[in-house]
Amino acid sequence: MKFGFLAKFLPPPENKFYHSFEDAVEICVLSAQLFYQVVNSDVALRPEYLVQAKKYKKRGKETLRHTLALLDATFITPIDREDIQQIASYLYRCTKVVLKACVNLQTYKIESYNDILKKQAEYLMAATDELKNLIFMMKTNPRSSDITAKDLAIQDIESTGDDLLATAMEDLFSGRYDALSILKMRNIYKGIENGLDACADISDLIVSIELKHG
């Protein structure tokens, strides 16, 4: 069986789980784009972006609840129930941690955005875009090699993000910053890295599902 398992296992109108994944990953992408917009704009515009962040968080939570409700109401699922739950939960986790980073920029009164934040935002957008492509590929019945290539691309972005985080931590603990500033920026840096980790986790999970059903 090819990787288009969701395309085969979820024919209309039984593709409700697949559509939920599409909705959830779209919110991930929008959240990543929002963070990029925030750190590449004037600080004075931040309150406007936070209004949008709250809307995305609400959409993400509603999508997760909808997926779990479908799962609870479905006796026979096309793939393992725990896999459906994990994909849905990881997608919401990605959205949640990114939006929390947006909010923390305001909560912590960050007055300017450095190059590390801007570079993290670029990596996050790249990772969520790749993840969206991976999930949308499910309905095209792609080759396993194409799925593996997409997974490796996401893992490469996540690894590059790890390197950037290490650089950020080295700078934070260089002795040039006070303890409060270190705490604030560390939480924000780690939040975005957690978003990248979530993308990598979802990608690995999808490959694992393909191996089980391939």
Match domain 5-213 to its CATH number in 1.20.58.220, 3.40.50.150, 3.40.50.720, 1.10.238.10: 1.20.58.220
d(CA 40, CA 117) in angstroms, rounded, equals 9
Q: pTM (2 decimals)?
A: 0.88
Query: For the segment 17-68, what is each residue's pLDDT rounded down to a tens digit?
Result: 788 899 999 999 999 999 999 999 999 889 999 999 999 999 999 999 998 8
Q: Where are the domains of the chain?
A: 5-213
CA dist 96 → 31, 65, 91, 105, 163 (Å): 9, 14, 9, 14, 23
